[in-house]
Amino acid sequence: MAKIGVIGDRDSVLLFKAVGLDVFFEDDGAHANRTLHRLAREGYAAVFVTEKLFSACAETIAEFQSQPYPAIIPIPDNQGSQGIGEKTLRQNVEKAVGMDILSNT
């Protein structure tokens, strides 16, 4: 079975531990970058990252975009969404199908 991890502040990601995901508590972008590299080396298939850390880890995430694994997915933290997850999804869909099919216009 593929390993799935979650990186973020304690209050935002603790619940993911209850459903059996591997949880890594990080509040700092530099520490989160190191954790992302470690999870990639350890063969994680997917890593959910809070939007705050997703922004702080942009360079590291860019390194993995051309690789099939790990899929790095932004999630809102306990303060709510910053819109990064939706923006990333929209960009990925547009890249895959050649146009923005998620637009409301």
More confident residue, 28 or 91: 28
Two tokens, residue 25: 């508590």
Identify the band that residue 21 occupies on the pLDDT scale cut at 50, 70 and 90.
Answer: very high
Q: What is the pLDDT of residue 65?
A: 84
Partners of 4 in the β-ladder: 46
Distance CA 92, CA 101 (A): 11
Q: What is the pLDDT of residues 24-68, one digit of tens each?
A: 999 999 999 999 999 999 999 999 999 899 889 989 988 988 888
pLDDT at 97 over 70: no
